[in-house]
Structure 1
Amino acid sequence: MADKKKVWKIASNVLFGVLIIALVVPTSRMWIQQGLMKIGLFKPNLETPKAEATSTENKPASNQPEVSFTDDNDKITHISDLKGKVVFLNFWATWCPPCKAEMPSIQQLKEKFAGNDQVVFMLVEIEQNKEGAHAFLKEGKLDLPIYYPATEIPANWLGQSIPTTVILDKAGNIAAHHEGMADYSRKEVYNFITELINK
Protein backbone atom coordinates (compact mmCIF):
# COMPACT_ATOMS: atom_id res chain seq x y z
CA MET A 1 0.00 0.00 0.00
CA ALA A 2 2.85 2.37 0.90
CA ASP A 3 4.55 1.54 -2.43
CA LYS A 4 1.40 2.48 -4.38
CA LYS A 5 1.19 5.80 -2.57
CA LYS A 6 4.87 6.49 -3.29
CA VAL A 7 4.46 5.67 -6.99
CA TRP A 8 1.32 7.83 -7.18
CA LYS A 9 3.14 10.73 -5.49
CA ILE A 10 6.09 10.48 -7.90
CA ALA A 11 3.77 10.24 -10.92
CA SER A 12 1.70 13.24 -9.82
CA ASN A 13 4.88 15.29 -9.19
CA VAL A 14 6.19 14.41 -12.65
CA LEU A 15 2.84 15.33 -14.26
CA PHE A 16 2.76 18.60 -12.32
CA GLY A 17 6.32 19.38 -13.49
CA VAL A 18 5.41 18.66 -17.12
CA LEU A 19 2.37 20.97 -16.88
CA ILE A 20 4.47 23.78 -15.38
CA ILE A 21 7.05 23.44 -18.17
CA ALA A 22 4.26 23.39 -20.76
CA LEU A 23 2.82 26.62 -19.38
CA VAL A 24 6.17 28.38 -19.15
CA VAL A 25 7.80 27.35 -22.44
CA PRO A 26 6.03 29.18 -25.32
CA THR A 27 6.56 26.42 -27.89
CA SER A 28 4.97 23.89 -25.52
CA ARG A 29 1.98 26.18 -25.03
CA MET A 30 1.61 26.51 -28.78
CA TRP A 31 1.70 22.73 -29.21
CA ILE A 32 -0.98 22.27 -26.52
CA GLN A 33 -3.16 25.00 -28.07
CA GLN A 34 -2.90 23.41 -31.51
CA GLY A 35 -3.85 20.06 -30.00
CA LEU A 36 -6.93 21.59 -28.40
CA MET A 37 -7.91 23.11 -31.75
CA LYS A 38 -7.65 19.69 -33.41
CA ILE A 39 -10.11 18.14 -30.97
CA GLY A 40 -12.74 20.74 -31.84
CA LEU A 41 -12.17 23.57 -29.39
CA PHE A 42 -11.64 27.20 -30.40
CA LYS A 43 -14.30 27.48 -33.08
CA PRO A 44 -14.27 30.93 -34.73
CA ASN A 45 -17.25 33.23 -34.40
CA LEU A 46 -18.68 33.63 -37.90
CA GLU A 47 -21.49 36.05 -37.13
CA THR A 48 -21.59 39.70 -38.12
CA PRO A 49 -21.23 41.80 -34.96
CA LYS A 50 -24.60 43.39 -34.08
CA ALA A 51 -23.12 46.89 -33.86
CA GLU A 52 -21.56 46.48 -37.31
CA ALA A 53 -24.75 45.12 -38.84
CA THR A 54 -26.64 48.18 -37.57
CA SER A 55 -23.98 50.71 -38.50
CA THR A 56 -23.46 49.45 -42.05
CA GLU A 57 -27.15 49.86 -42.79
CA ASN A 58 -26.79 53.58 -42.12
CA LYS A 59 -23.20 54.08 -43.24
CA PRO A 60 -22.13 52.86 -46.67
CA ALA A 61 -18.73 51.15 -46.86
CA SER A 62 -17.55 53.93 -49.19
CA ASN A 63 -17.87 56.40 -46.29
CA GLN A 64 -15.78 54.30 -43.89
CA PRO A 65 -12.25 55.53 -43.10
CA GLU A 66 -9.48 54.40 -45.44
CA VAL A 67 -7.35 51.62 -43.98
CA SER A 68 -4.02 50.72 -45.55
CA PHE A 69 -1.27 48.18 -45.03
CA THR A 70 2.26 47.77 -46.39
CA ASP A 71 4.09 44.64 -47.42
CA ASP A 72 7.80 43.84 -47.08
CA ASN A 73 8.57 45.93 -50.16
CA ASP A 74 6.71 48.95 -48.70
CA LYS A 75 3.99 48.56 -51.32
CA ILE A 76 0.77 50.02 -49.92
CA THR A 77 -2.51 48.13 -50.17
CA HIS A 78 -5.66 50.14 -49.49
CA ILE A 79 -8.63 48.10 -48.30
CA SER A 80 -10.84 50.20 -50.58
CA ASP A 81 -8.89 48.82 -53.58
CA LEU A 82 -9.98 45.31 -52.60
CA LYS A 83 -13.70 45.99 -53.02
CA GLY A 84 -15.29 43.12 -54.90
CA LYS A 85 -13.14 40.59 -53.01
CA VAL A 86 -13.56 38.89 -49.66
CA VAL A 87 -10.72 39.93 -47.32
CA PHE A 88 -9.45 37.72 -44.48
CA LEU A 89 -7.53 39.93 -42.03
CA ASN A 90 -5.66 38.39 -39.10
CA PHE A 91 -4.03 40.75 -36.59
CA TRP A 92 -1.12 39.19 -34.69
CA ALA A 93 2.32 39.78 -33.14
CA THR A 94 5.46 37.68 -33.03
CA TRP A 95 5.47 37.51 -29.21
CA CYS A 96 1.92 36.07 -29.04
CA PRO A 97 1.77 32.23 -28.63
CA PRO A 98 -1.98 31.94 -29.46
CA CYS A 99 -1.35 33.98 -32.63
CA LYS A 100 1.33 31.54 -33.69
CA ALA A 101 -0.74 28.51 -32.68
CA GLU A 102 -3.56 29.38 -35.09
CA MET A 103 -1.28 30.15 -38.06
CA PRO A 104 -1.15 26.57 -39.45
CA SER A 105 -4.96 26.53 -39.58
CA ILE A 106 -4.93 29.82 -41.53
CA GLN A 107 -2.35 28.26 -43.89
CA GLN A 108 -4.72 25.34 -44.49
CA LEU A 109 -7.63 27.70 -45.17
CA LYS A 110 -5.53 29.76 -47.59
CA GLU A 111 -4.51 26.60 -49.45
CA LYS A 112 -8.19 25.66 -49.92
CA PHE A 113 -8.62 28.93 -51.84
CA ALA A 114 -5.42 28.55 -53.90
CA GLY A 115 -5.92 30.09 -57.33
CA ASN A 116 -9.11 31.90 -56.29
CA ASP A 117 -8.56 35.63 -56.82
CA GLN A 118 -11.89 36.47 -55.16
CA VAL A 119 -10.41 36.12 -51.65
CA VAL A 120 -7.40 37.96 -50.21
CA PHE A 121 -5.47 36.88 -47.11
CA MET A 122 -3.66 39.56 -45.10
CA LEU A 123 -1.83 38.61 -41.91
CA VAL A 124 -1.07 41.90 -40.20
CA GLU A 125 1.88 41.88 -37.79
CA ILE A 126 0.82 44.87 -35.70
CA GLU A 127 4.27 45.77 -34.32
CA GLN A 128 6.15 46.06 -37.63
CA ASN A 129 8.52 43.22 -36.65
CA LYS A 130 9.48 42.10 -40.14
CA GLU A 131 12.48 40.04 -39.08
CA GLY A 132 10.55 38.19 -36.36
CA ALA A 133 7.56 37.59 -38.63
CA HIS A 134 9.65 36.00 -41.36
CA ALA A 135 11.68 33.96 -38.88
CA PHE A 136 8.45 32.48 -37.53
CA LEU A 137 7.09 31.73 -41.02
CA LYS A 138 10.34 30.03 -41.99
CA GLU A 139 10.44 27.99 -38.79
CA GLY A 140 6.82 26.87 -39.23
CA LYS A 141 7.21 26.29 -43.00
CA LEU A 142 4.32 28.66 -43.62
CA ASP A 143 3.59 30.60 -46.80
CA LEU A 144 1.37 33.43 -45.61
CA PRO A 145 1.26 37.04 -46.88
CA ILE A 146 2.50 39.33 -44.10
CA TYR A 147 1.48 42.99 -43.93
CA TYR A 148 2.05 45.85 -41.50
CA PRO A 149 -0.26 48.75 -40.55
CA ALA A 150 0.22 51.88 -42.66
CA THR A 151 -2.75 53.71 -41.11
CA GLU A 152 -4.62 53.46 -37.84
CA ILE A 153 -6.59 50.23 -37.53
CA PRO A 154 -10.27 50.91 -36.78
CA ALA A 155 -11.31 50.04 -33.21
CA ASN A 156 -14.18 47.88 -34.50
CA TRP A 157 -11.58 45.77 -36.34
CA LEU A 158 -8.93 45.49 -33.63
CA GLY A 159 -9.75 46.17 -30.01
CA GLN A 160 -7.42 45.32 -27.14
CA SER A 161 -6.60 41.67 -27.82
CA ILE A 162 -4.74 39.58 -30.35
CA PRO A 163 -5.10 37.43 -32.25
CA THR A 164 -8.13 39.04 -33.83
CA THR A 165 -9.55 38.03 -37.19
CA VAL A 166 -11.87 40.11 -39.35
CA ILE A 167 -13.50 38.88 -42.54
CA LEU A 168 -14.73 41.65 -44.85
CA ASP A 169 -17.41 41.04 -47.43
CA LYS A 170 -17.08 42.22 -51.03
CA ALA A 171 -18.47 45.65 -50.11
CA GLY A 172 -15.78 46.11 -47.43
CA ASN A 173 -18.14 45.58 -44.48
CA ILE A 174 -17.37 43.30 -41.53
CA ALA A 175 -18.96 39.91 -42.18
CA ALA A 176 -17.31 38.23 -39.18
CA HIS A 177 -15.14 39.33 -36.25
CA HIS A 178 -13.39 36.95 -33.86
CA GLU A 179 -11.12 37.83 -30.93
CA GLY A 180 -8.82 35.12 -29.64
CA MET A 181 -7.30 31.99 -31.06
CA ALA A 182 -9.40 29.89 -33.43
CA ASP A 183 -9.16 26.97 -35.83
CA TYR A 184 -9.69 28.44 -39.31
CA SER A 185 -9.16 25.13 -41.10
CA ARG A 186 -12.72 24.13 -40.17
CA LYS A 187 -15.18 23.38 -42.98
CA GLU A 188 -17.65 25.99 -41.77
CA VAL A 189 -15.04 28.75 -42.27
CA TYR A 190 -14.42 27.63 -45.84
CA ASN A 191 -18.18 27.50 -46.46
CA PHE A 192 -18.69 30.93 -44.89
CA ILE A 193 -16.08 32.56 -47.13
CA THR A 194 -17.38 30.70 -50.19
CA GLU A 195 -20.88 32.05 -49.52
CA LEU A 196 -19.48 35.59 -49.29
CA ILE A 197 -17.66 35.11 -52.60
CA ASN A 198 -20.83 33.91 -54.28
CA LYS A 199 -23.03 36.81 -53.08
Structure 2
Amino acid sequence: MKKLLLLTAAAVLAAACMRLPEVPTLGTVELPVAAEEEAVWTSADYEGKPVLVVFMGSWCPYCKMSMPAVNAAAEAYDGKAEVVSVFMDADPETVMKVAKEHNLKAKALYNGGAVAQEMEVTGLPHAALFDKKHRAVKVWEGFSPTLEQEFKEHLERLTK
Protein backbone atom coordinates (compact mmCIF):
# COMPACT_ATOMS: atom_id res chain seq x y z
CA MET A 1 0.00 0.00 0.00
CA LYS A 2 2.88 2.37 0.84
CA LYS A 3 4.47 1.70 -2.55
CA LEU A 4 1.21 2.54 -4.32
CA LEU A 5 0.85 5.72 -2.30
CA LEU A 6 4.47 6.72 -3.04
CA LEU A 7 4.04 6.00 -6.76
CA THR A 8 0.84 8.04 -6.86
CA ALA A 9 2.52 10.95 -5.04
CA ALA A 10 5.50 10.77 -7.42
CA ALA A 11 3.19 10.77 -10.45
CA VAL A 12 1.25 13.78 -9.13
CA LEU A 13 4.50 15.64 -8.42
CA ALA A 14 5.88 14.83 -11.89
CA ALA A 15 2.66 16.01 -13.51
CA ALA A 16 2.78 19.25 -11.52
CA CYS A 17 6.33 19.91 -12.66
CA MET A 18 5.53 19.35 -16.33
CA ARG A 19 5.21 22.46 -18.43
CA LEU A 20 1.68 23.04 -19.67
CA PRO A 21 1.29 23.66 -23.38
CA GLU A 22 1.09 27.31 -24.35
CA VAL A 23 -1.98 28.71 -26.02
CA PRO A 24 -0.97 29.65 -29.58
CA THR A 25 -0.99 33.38 -30.21
CA LEU A 26 -1.19 35.51 -33.31
CA GLY A 27 2.09 37.24 -32.55
CA THR A 28 3.33 40.01 -34.79
CA VAL A 29 2.24 39.41 -38.35
CA GLU A 30 3.10 41.84 -41.12
CA LEU A 31 1.97 41.08 -44.65
CA PRO A 32 1.51 43.15 -47.79
CA VAL A 33 -2.01 44.10 -48.80
CA ALA A 34 -3.06 43.27 -52.36
CA ALA A 35 -4.20 46.74 -53.41
CA GLU A 36 -3.50 49.43 -55.98
CA GLU A 37 -1.34 51.32 -53.47
CA GLU A 38 1.38 49.62 -51.47
CA ALA A 39 0.33 48.92 -47.90
CA VAL A 40 1.28 46.54 -45.11
CA TRP A 41 -1.17 44.94 -42.71
CA THR A 42 0.14 44.37 -39.20
CA SER A 43 -1.58 42.49 -36.40
CA ALA A 44 -0.30 44.98 -33.82
CA ASP A 45 -2.70 47.58 -35.24
CA TYR A 46 -5.61 45.45 -33.99
CA GLU A 47 -4.63 44.92 -30.35
CA GLY A 48 -7.76 44.73 -28.25
CA LYS A 49 -9.85 43.37 -31.15
CA PRO A 50 -10.54 39.80 -32.18
CA VAL A 51 -8.85 38.77 -35.43
CA LEU A 52 -10.09 36.15 -37.88
CA VAL A 53 -7.35 35.01 -40.26
CA VAL A 54 -8.42 32.88 -43.22
CA PHE A 55 -5.61 31.27 -45.24
CA MET A 56 -6.42 30.81 -48.92
CA GLY A 57 -4.99 30.23 -52.35
CA SER A 58 -6.21 31.86 -55.56
CA TRP A 59 -6.24 28.41 -57.20
CA CYS A 60 -8.22 26.71 -54.39
CA PRO A 61 -11.89 25.98 -55.22
CA TYR A 62 -12.80 25.38 -51.56
CA CYS A 63 -11.24 28.72 -50.63
CA LYS A 64 -13.47 30.40 -53.19
CA MET A 65 -16.46 28.56 -51.71
CA SER A 66 -15.47 29.98 -48.29
CA MET A 67 -15.38 33.59 -49.47
CA PRO A 68 -19.08 34.32 -48.84
CA ALA A 69 -18.59 33.29 -45.18
CA VAL A 70 -15.50 35.51 -44.95
CA ASN A 71 -17.44 38.38 -46.55
CA ALA A 72 -20.33 37.97 -44.11
CA ALA A 73 -17.95 38.06 -41.14
CA ALA A 74 -16.06 41.07 -42.50
CA GLU A 75 -19.28 43.03 -43.05
CA ALA A 76 -21.05 42.03 -39.83
CA TYR A 77 -18.08 42.71 -37.56
CA ASP A 78 -16.53 45.71 -39.32
CA GLY A 79 -15.05 47.90 -36.59
CA LYS A 80 -15.55 45.21 -33.92
CA ALA A 81 -13.15 42.56 -35.24
CA GLU A 82 -10.54 42.35 -37.96
CA VAL A 83 -11.13 39.79 -40.72
CA VAL A 84 -8.32 39.13 -43.19
CA SER A 85 -7.74 36.70 -46.02
CA VAL A 86 -4.13 35.57 -46.22
CA PHE A 87 -3.31 34.23 -49.66
CA MET A 88 -0.39 31.90 -50.27
CA ASP A 89 0.14 33.57 -53.64
CA ALA A 90 3.23 35.74 -54.07
CA ASP A 91 1.68 37.79 -56.88
CA PRO A 92 -0.55 40.69 -55.71
CA GLU A 93 -2.22 41.03 -59.13
CA THR A 94 -3.49 37.45 -58.99
CA VAL A 95 -4.86 38.00 -55.49
CA MET A 96 -6.51 41.30 -56.49
CA LYS A 97 -8.14 39.60 -59.48
CA VAL A 98 -9.61 36.79 -57.33
CA ALA A 99 -10.69 39.24 -54.62
CA LYS A 100 -12.45 41.39 -57.21
CA GLU A 101 -14.11 38.40 -58.93
CA HIS A 102 -15.55 37.26 -55.59
CA ASN A 103 -16.24 40.73 -54.21
CA LEU A 104 -14.06 39.94 -51.19
CA LYS A 105 -14.80 42.39 -48.35
CA ALA A 106 -11.97 41.31 -46.06
CA LYS A 107 -8.48 42.71 -46.62
CA ALA A 108 -6.66 40.45 -49.06
CA LEU A 109 -3.08 39.88 -47.97
CA TYR A 110 -0.54 37.99 -50.05
CA ASN A 111 2.75 36.17 -49.66
CA GLY A 112 1.41 34.36 -46.60
CA GLY A 113 3.45 31.15 -46.90
CA ALA A 114 5.83 31.86 -44.02
CA VAL A 115 3.01 32.90 -41.70
CA ALA A 116 1.04 29.78 -42.66
CA GLN A 117 4.08 27.65 -41.87
CA GLU A 118 4.50 29.33 -38.46
CA MET A 119 0.84 28.66 -37.70
CA GLU A 120 1.19 25.04 -38.87
CA VAL A 121 -1.38 25.37 -41.64
CA THR A 122 -1.52 22.04 -43.47
CA GLY A 123 -4.35 22.63 -45.93
CA LEU A 124 -6.56 25.30 -47.45
CA PRO A 125 -8.79 26.95 -46.56
CA HIS A 126 -7.68 27.24 -42.96
CA ALA A 127 -9.19 29.77 -40.56
CA ALA A 128 -7.94 30.77 -37.13
CA LEU A 129 -9.81 33.00 -34.71
CA PHE A 130 -7.92 34.98 -32.09
CA ASP A 131 -9.48 36.73 -29.10
CA LYS A 132 -8.88 40.34 -28.02
CA LYS A 133 -5.52 39.33 -26.52
CA HIS A 134 -4.70 37.53 -29.79
CA ARG A 135 -4.81 34.06 -28.26
CA ALA A 136 -6.13 31.32 -30.54
CA VAL A 137 -9.66 30.28 -29.59
CA LYS A 138 -10.84 28.31 -32.64
CA VAL A 139 -9.40 26.77 -35.80
CA TRP A 140 -11.29 25.58 -38.86
CA GLU A 141 -9.72 23.18 -41.35
CA GLY A 142 -11.21 23.03 -44.83
CA PHE A 143 -14.54 24.18 -46.18
CA SER A 144 -17.86 23.62 -44.47
CA PRO A 145 -21.29 24.85 -45.55
CA THR A 146 -21.83 25.96 -41.93
CA LEU A 147 -18.73 28.17 -41.88
CA GLU A 148 -20.65 31.45 -42.03
CA GLN A 149 -22.79 30.50 -39.04
CA GLU A 150 -19.78 29.21 -37.10
CA PHE A 151 -17.82 32.43 -37.71
CA LYS A 152 -20.84 34.42 -36.55
CA GLU A 153 -21.33 32.40 -33.35
CA HIS A 154 -17.70 32.68 -32.31
CA LEU A 155 -17.25 36.33 -33.29
CA GLU A 156 -20.45 37.26 -31.51
CA ARG A 157 -19.05 35.90 -28.22
CA LEU A 158 -15.75 37.70 -28.67
CA THR A 159 -17.20 41.11 -29.58
CA LYS A 160 -19.62 41.51 -26.68
Q: What residue is the counterpart of 1:38 in the other structure? A: none
Deviation per residue, 1:150-192 (Å, 9 max, x gap)? 7831646242211110111110111111111134321x43121
Deviation at 1:110, TM superposition (A): 2.1
Task: Work out whether 1:146 is the aligned partner of 2:108.
Answer: yes
Question: Residues 149 and 67 from structure 1, CA distance in 2 versus in 1: closer, same or farther, beyond 3 angstroms?
Answer: farther
Question: Residues 135 and 190 from structure 1, CA distance in 2 versus in 1: closer, same or farther, beyond 3 angstroms?
Answer: same
Partners of 2:131 and 2:123 in 1: CA distance: 22
2:48–2:133 contact (8 Å) kept in structure 1: yes
Quote the sequence identity (%): 20
2:99–2:108 contact (8 Å) kept in structure 1: no
Taking the TM superposition and a 5 Å limit, the aligned residue runs for 1:167-178 are 167-178=129-140
Q: What residue is the counterpart of 2:56 in the other structure? A: 92
SS at match of 1:160: coil
Question: Residues 99 and 54 from structure 1, CA distance in 2 versus in 1: closer, same or farther, beyond 3 angstroms?
Answer: same
1:87–1:167 contact (8 Å) kept in structure 2: yes
Deviation per residue, 1:16-63 (Å, 9 max, x gap)? xxxxxxxxxxxxxxxxxxxxxxxxxxxxxxxxxxxxx9313xx8x5xx
When the two structures are superposed, what TM-score results if normalisation uses the length of structure 2?
A: 0.73
Q: State which of 57, 68, 81 in structure 2 corresponds to 1:104.
A: 68
Greater percentage in helix? 1
SS at match of 2:22: helix
Q: What residue is the counterpart of 2:119 in the other structure? A: 157
Q: What residue is the counterpart of 2:38 in the other structure? A: 74
2:126–2:141 contact (8 Å) kept in structure 1: yes
Q: What residue is the counterpart of 1:185 in the other structure? A: 148
Task: Work out whether 1:55 is the aligned partner of 2:22.
Answer: yes
Task: Work out whether 1:128 is the aligned partner of 2:95.
Answer: no
SS at match of 1:175: strand
When the two structures are superposed, what TM-score results if normalisation uses the length of structure 1?
A: 0.60
Q: What residue is the counterpart of 1:33 in the other structure? A: none
Q: Which amino acid aligns with 2:128?
A: V
Alignment RMSD: 2.5
Of stretches 156-165 and 168-177 in structure 1, the one that deviates more from structure 2 is 156-165
2:85–2:108 contact (8 Å) kept in structure 1: yes
Partners of 1:164 and 1:158 in 2: CA distance: 10
